[in-house]
């Protein structure tokens, strides 16, 4: 690393008020009880765990983050594997729970090559394996004696699982399956942990028995030798190369040239081949599988609040420290204005601050519903629902609450991850020029987060499922056979009041805001129904309408969940009056800012008047920005994201933005080790280097 700067540089301080002073001033002007609010958001237990883990991990050199953004792909992956190994050793030594390991992974701040083994491989074996298979595969996998991944997506197919091309053909003569890749597009692709790390994979393949296709099913396939770690014969496996982000993960490709695996390797909890009769035995409880999807998506919603909070924490603290221009209308000798005082900065940042709370509470609400529902489902599970085809995304009647929850999770996953992903980029740009530096801590994190917008259901594709569900519910409401759930209620309420009109007082009454969002959703649902059923428009021509409908519905859900959370007894009991009021203001900011952005739909559905929108824009939102502004720093402090996790010069808790940027640039930047020869006619790149070295 470069030599330290001379003394005259070391002696320099930032000009004007110091970052620490500015943040102290910010924290002094607000009375938000940060500790109480943190506990409400995360629980005391989680905060203590986080403290303990930071103290344990941060001093270890292997977890050093300073070179993450300077290294090449190969070195990064090597280091990521070293981190993953060390975490696993620590987990074993300290007998970590799943939560501990998960929290530790969050703190080290990048995906590791064990990621898919620890999540999807173990989960799939556990949920889809028979007891015999648990003994054979799961027990060894839990001890990392075998390391696996989950190989579903192919080069030519992602969302459409039924279109997968890899085949698994049953051979009655020797009771084996042949796994084969008939085309290049059949290559498994994007499979995390497979590229260089895993020696086993759960492979989704089209099952063929006696010439008949039974759709995609999961098979456990060994892909590498347990001693040499080389691919087995007729298996082609490797890493797919550098990506936009996620470069510490070895996403892999995988091809099979007629590889035979034994009967026991087809995961058989739900469907299997009878070894004696060579007959396919149908799945018994498919809804449980589809519950997993719902769980995964609910988790994405819950995490999206925290993801966004990282960006907002960095941008809020930095914009409080950064100063730019004197206020045009103020005393010209006053110092420059904190960037956070600019209305055009507030209007980008503070609605995101409100969104992170909104998404967090919505995610919490979803998880609670999911858990309640799982209990009910398990009590009432009936084996008669076996008509479901092999596609994982099909809806079946029968479990109304789950259907509602499933549709809800699809729409919210799309809205929440889009809000968080795009919000991070807004935060980065709000930081101006320094946001472009990797030391801002936003850019690299954004790149790593972006796949979430595509995986577990592409955000645009998912909206079709929401629309399908809403249309179905609307038909049921019209025919008087609707299930008793919230969706049916808002649709019925709209029909009842449609002739009278809405007349919601969104500027004064919080519950009227929720009602206005419900109204717009119901209006768009019946509009879409008219297009589809009465006008017989094609499904494809309505996709844009469906996408808008799904977005509207999900925004309603967020508004509703946020409102319920800020009005809940749990919140009342844990917060003081001022902080509670502030939570209501955040709710209003989220809701009214969203309403203003979607003004045309609210207006044309008759949920609000043009005058109300005008007042929302010019008065209500501006007033909320003024009310929330003094508390901004404390509101991000309450998320309690450790500096080590933020890994950001701009977002440091202590506000020492400029010294930290300078320290990293001058001390942690390997480019400064080299003295270049700048002249074009000298082929040598470095001073005192022979022209033919390297490259």
Partner 1 sequence: MPDFTDTLRPSQPDGPTTLARERGQSDLSVDGLSKHLFPADGFLERQARILHILQKEPLFSKEKQQNLSRVERFKLGLARAKLLRRMTDQHRWDHEDYKMAQYLVDDVSPYFLHMEMFVTTIREQASEEQRAYWMPLIESWKIIGAYAQTELGHGSNVRGLELEARWDSSTKEFILHSPTLTASKWWNGSLGRVANHAIVVAQLFLPKPGSPEQYVSHGPHPFIVQVRDMKSHQPLNGVVIGDIGPKYGYITMDNAYMLFDNFRIPHSAMLCRYSSVDPSSGTYTKPEQPALVYGSLTYVRANIVHHARLVLARAVTVAVRYTAIRRQFQDRDSDKNGPEMSVLDYPTVQIRILPLVATAFALHYTGLSMQNVYRATREDIESGDFRSLAHMHSMSSGLKSLCTMLAADGIETCRRAMGGHGFGGGSGLIQLNNDYLSKPTVEGDNWMITQQVAAYLIKKMTDAVESINTPGTDETDARFKEFIRAKRQAGASQPISLSNDQDIVKSFELRATALAYDAYEQRVLKKQNWNSLLIQLHKLSKAQSQSILVATFFKALSTDQTLSGPTKTVLWDVFRLFALYTMENEGYEFFRCNAVARSSLNALPSRVQGLMARIRPHAVNLVDSWKIPDYLLDSALGRYDGRVYEDLYNRAHRLNPLNRITFNPNYWEEEIVMGTGENGRNILSKL
Nearer to partner 1, 280 or 342 (CB): 342
The DSSP secondary-structure symbol of 531 reads: I
Nearer to partner 1, 342 or 644 (CB): 342
In the annotation, is 456 catalytic?
A: yes
Helix/strand/coil for 210: coil
Reference 57, options 16, 34, 13, 89; nearest CA is: 89
Residues in binding site = 153, 192
Tell the smallest beta-carbon distance from residue 198 to partner 1 (Å).
Answer: 7
Nearer to partner 1, 276 or 673 (CB): 673
SS (H, E, C) 45-92: HHHHHHHHHHHHHCCCHHHCCCCCCCCCHHHHHHHHHHHHHHHHHHHH
Nearer to partner 1, 62 or 281 (CB): 62
Nearer to partner 1, 239 or 637 (CB): 239
Helix pair 98-108, 44-57: axis angle to 10 deg: 60
Tell the smallest beta-carbon distance from residue 488 to partner 1 (Å).
Answer: 24
Computed on alpha carbons and rounded to an integer, the radius of gyration of the chain in Å comes to 28
What CA–CA distances, in Å, run from 222 to 180, 205, 378, 543? 14, 15, 33, 41
Contact assessment for residue 125 and residue 93, using Cβ atoms and an 8 Å cutoff:
no
Q: In angstroms, rounded to a whole number, what is the distance separating the alpha carbons of residues 387 and 109?
A: 43
The DSSP secondary-structure symbol of 203 reads: E
Nearer to partner 1, 196 or 580 (CB): 196
Reference 403, options 498, 301, 484; nearest CA is: 484
Catalytic residue among 39, 110, 165, 456: 456
Nearer to partner 1, 215 or 245 (CB): 245
Tell the smallest beta-carbon distance from residue 682 to partner 1 (Å).
Answer: 8
Helix pair 577-597, 510-529: axis angle to 10 deg: 30
The DSSP secondary-structure symbol of 665 reads: H
Contact assessment for residue 587 and residue 563, using Cβ atoms and an 8 Å cutoff:
yes
Which residue do the tokens 């079946």 mark?
A: 396
Nearer to partner 1, 255 or 403 (CB): 255
Helix/strand/coil for 92: helix
Tokens of 386: 């076996």
Tell the smallest beta-carbon distance from residue 90 to partner 1 (Å).
Answer: 10
Helix/strand/coil for 503: coil
How many CB atoms lie under 10 A from the CB of residue 292? 15
Q: In angstroms, rounded to a whole number, what is the distance separating the alpha carbons of residues 476 and 470?
A: 10
Nearer to partner 1, 398 or 659 (CB): 659
Tell the smallest beta-carbon distance from residue 84 to partner 1 (Å).
Answer: 7
Q: CA-based diameter of the chain, in Å?
A: 92
Nearer to partner 1, 95 or 577 (CB): 95
Contact assessment for residue 468 and residue 411, using Cβ atoms and an 8 Å cutoff:
no
Q: In angstroms, rounded to a whole number, what is the distance separating the alpha carbons of residues 533 and 530?
A: 5
Tell the smallest beta-carbon distance from residue 9 to partner 1 (Å).
Answer: 5
Tokens of 29: 């002007």
User: Any idea of the CA torsion for 275, 280, 281, 285, to the nearest 10 degrees?
Assistant: 130
- Judge residue 476's burial from the number of C-beta atoms within 10 Å of its C-beta, 0-12 exposed, 13-18 middle, 19 or more buried: middle
Reference 338, options 329, 327, 348, 330; nearest CA is: 327
Residues in binding site for FAD = 153, 192
Tokens of 418: 């889009």
* DSSP-derived pairing of the beta strands 280-281 and 188-191: unpaired
Reference 517, options 488, 552, 492, 546; nearest CA is: 552
Reference 409, options 466, 482, 487, 451; nearest CA is: 466
Which segments of 569-656 does DSSP mark as H helices, in order? 569-574, 577-597, 599-604, 610-615, 621-628, 632-637, 643-646
Reference 451, options 205, 185, 166, 191; nearest CA is: 191
Q: What are phi and psi of 384, to 5 degrees?
A: -80, -10
Tell the smallest beta-carbon distance from residue 485 to partner 1 (Å).
Answer: 25
Catalytic site positions: 456
């Amino acid at each position: 690393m470069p030599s330290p700067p001379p003394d005259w540089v070391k002696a320099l301080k930032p000009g004007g008020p110091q970052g620490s002073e500015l943040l102290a001033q910010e924290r002094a002007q607000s009375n938000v009880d940060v500790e109480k609010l943190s506990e409400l958001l995360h629980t005391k237990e989680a905060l203590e765990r986080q403290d303990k883990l930071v103290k344990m991990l941060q001093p270890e050199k292997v977890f050093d983050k300073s070179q993450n953004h300077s290294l090449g792909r190969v070195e990064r992956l090597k280091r990521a594997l070293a981190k993953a190994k060390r975490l696993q050793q620590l987990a074993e030594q300290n007998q970590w729970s799943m939560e501990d390991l998960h929290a530790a992974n969050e703190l080290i701040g990048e995906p590791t090559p064990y990621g898919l083994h620890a999540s999807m491989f173990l989960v799939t074996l556990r949920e889809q394996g028979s007891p015999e298979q648990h003994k054979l595969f799961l027990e060894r996998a839990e001890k990392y004696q075998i390391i696996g991944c989950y190989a579903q997506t192919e080069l030519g197919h992602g969302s459409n699982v039924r279109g997968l091309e890899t085949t698994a053909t049953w051979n009655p003569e020797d009771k084996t399956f042949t796994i084969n890749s008939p085309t290049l597009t059949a290559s498994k692709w994007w499979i995390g942990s497979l590229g260089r790390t895993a020696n086993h994979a759960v492979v989704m393949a089209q099952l063929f028995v006696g010439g008949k296709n039974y759709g995609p099913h999961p098979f456990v396939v060994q892909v590498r030798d347990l001693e040499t770690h080389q691919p087995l014969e007729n298996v082609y496996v490797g890493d797919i190369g550098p990506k936009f982000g996620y470069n510490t993960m070895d996403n892999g490709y995988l091809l099979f040239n007629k590889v035979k695996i034994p009967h026991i390797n087809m995961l058989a909890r739900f469907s299997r081949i009878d070894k004696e009769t060579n007959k396919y035995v149908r799945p018994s409880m498919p809804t449980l599988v589809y519950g997993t999807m719902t769980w995964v998506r609910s988790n994405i919603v819950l995490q999206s609040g925290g993801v966004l909070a990282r960006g907002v924490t960095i941008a809020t603290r930095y914009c409080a420290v950064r100063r730019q221009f004197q206020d045009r209308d103020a005393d010209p000798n006053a110092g420059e204005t904190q960037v956070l005082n600019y209305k055009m900065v507030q209007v980008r940042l503070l609605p995101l601050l409100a969104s992170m709370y909104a998404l967090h509470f919505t995610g919490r609400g979803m998880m609670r519903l999911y858990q309640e529902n799982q209990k009910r489902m398990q009590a009432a599970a009936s084996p008669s629902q076996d008509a479901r085809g092999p596609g994982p995304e099909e809806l079946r009647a029968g479990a109304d609450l789950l259907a509602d929850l499933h549709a809800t999770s699809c729409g919210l996953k799309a809205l929440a991850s889009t809000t968080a992903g795009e919000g991070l980029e807004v935060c980065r740009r709000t930081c101006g020029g320094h946001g472009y530096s990797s030391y801002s801590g936003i850019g690299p994190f954004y790149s790593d987060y972006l796949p979430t917008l595509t995986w577990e259901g592409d955000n645009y594709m998912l909206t079709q499922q929401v629309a399908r569900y809403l249309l179905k519910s609307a038909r049921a409401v019209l025919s008087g056979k609707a299930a008793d759930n919230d969706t049916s209620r808002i649709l019925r309420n709209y029909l009842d009041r449609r002739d009278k009109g809405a007349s919601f007082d969104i500027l004064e009454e919080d519950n009227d805001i929720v009602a206005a969002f419900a109204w717009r959703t119901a209006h768009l649902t019946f509009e879409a129904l008219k297009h589809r059923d009465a006008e017989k428009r094609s499904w494809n021509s309505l996709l844009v309408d469906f996408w808008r409908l799904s977005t509207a519905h999900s925004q309603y859900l967020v508004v509703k969940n946020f409102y319920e959370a800020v009005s809940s007894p749990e919140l009342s009991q844990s917060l003081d009056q001022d902080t509670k009021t502030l939570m209501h203001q955040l709710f209003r900011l989220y809701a009214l800012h969203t309403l203003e952005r979607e003004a045309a739909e609210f207006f044309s559905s008759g949920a609000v008047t043009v005058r109300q929108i005008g007042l929302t824009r010019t008065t209500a939102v501006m007033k909320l920005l003024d009310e929330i502004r003094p508390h901004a720093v404390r509101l991000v402090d309450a998320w309690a994201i450790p500096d080590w996790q933020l890994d950001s010069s701009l977002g440091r808790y202590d506000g020492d933005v400029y010294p930290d940027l300078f320290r990293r640039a001058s001390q942690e930047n390997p480019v400064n080790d080299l003295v270049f020869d700048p002249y074009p006619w000298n082929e040598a790149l470095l001073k005192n280097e022979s022209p033919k070295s390297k490259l």
